[in-house]
Structure 1
């Protein structure tokens, strides 16, 4: 995950991914610098949509029935 996001942002040292698991999902909470949130989301959400597709496609569907979600922690609000 970090290797996908760090090239997109201006402050790669601020990128942090925290996995959180609940009953149905494995949530990856993505923390980036507030100035880089727009870069990760992309125009009309195309970048984050592509990242979500890659992350979901990388999971082993036979081993774990839980879906994977990628959540951006927007610290601006």
Structure 2
């Protein structure tokens, strides 16, 4: 799943070498902490959060078989 998130985000940003994804397991919840360059933050979030919402939708669809709630935090 981390590879999927990295592939999506690296295609959007100007500094793909600074993209990192950390997976944190919190029991019934799986959290992916996404870190990007400060100048790329707006590109990942998008207008009114549309890009971030689309990324979350794709990740939730890909992770439906894990029986865990998946969330992405942009740090």
TM (normalized to structure 1)? 0.87
Structure number with higher helix proportion: 2
Q: Which runs of 4+ in 1 moved over 4 A?
A: none
List runs of 5+ in structure 2 lacking aligned partners. none
- RMSD of the TM alignment (CA)? 0.9
Paired positions, count: 71
- Counterpart in the other structure of 2:46: 42
TM (normalized to structure 2)? 0.89
Please show how residues 21-60 of structure 1 align to structure 2 within 5 Å: 21-60=25-64
Of the three residues 64, 67, 71, the one matched with 2:69 is 67
Secondary structure in structure 2 of the residue aligned to 1:7: helix
